[in-house]
Amino acid sequence: MNNLPIVELIDNGLIAYESAWEQQTILHKQLIQNKLEARKLSPNIVFEQKNHYFLLCEHPHVYTLGKSGKPDHLLINDEFLKNIGATFYPINRGGDITYHGPGQIVGYPILDLENFITDVHVYVRNLEQIMINVLAKYQLEGIRYKEYTGVWLGPEKGKPARKICAIGVHLSRWVTLHGFAFNVNTNLDYFNYIVPCGIVDPEKSVTTLSKELGYDLDIEEVKLQVRNGI
């Protein structure tokens, strides 16, 4: 390919999970359909998509369960879910259960990886690296755990390892869906009602950027750091 692919960045602000899911699905199907139509004419070449997409947003309180997750990792019933103003969606990404809510930056790349790199592990590592680079801007060292996706802090003396960014993706015909959730000013109480990412380990917990730094951050400032790292 002579030209770098164009990735359109779309900032949806605060958007209901259902609406964001519908938007992702439309764009995902569009890229797949583009590819299938092109292959009818030229089956032996890699189709160069004209546009790819990177969606950024926040969600109202919602829990999502990946296709390999366990439903009983949601620790509350429907009535309690309603009382805390949250919703629940089983979806087709990898991974287990996670939480999205205000103060959390969520990113959904809709990319045809055949125009970038056809290696899902490298793709996930690249998403992690974006978050690691953002954390470095705040003098925090983000790390990876071989057995888990996502980005962590610690462990340190008196503190367990703390997950600050969850990642769960899905690919169809090399077109990506879902993405990452980066805890900035997130209300950690909502994680008490799930087994986060299905990890049952007293030496591992969940954290936010604000908790680590000791003050709330301007979400738009942090989002700018994420945008610059994409």
Catalytic residues: 197
User: Where do runs of H (alpha helix) occur along the chain?
Assistant: 17-41, 78-83, 120-137, 209-213, 219-229
**Strand 52-58 versus strand 7-14 pairing type:** parallel
> Residue 81 contacts by C-beta under 8 Å, 6 or more apart in sequence?
63, 74, 87, 88
> Residue 14 contacts by C-beta under 8 Å, 6 or more apart in sequence?
57, 58, 59, 60, 102
> Residue 114 contacts by C-beta under 8 Å, 6 or more apart in sequence?
35, 46, 47, 174
**Residue 104: which H helix or E strand, with range?**
strand 104-110
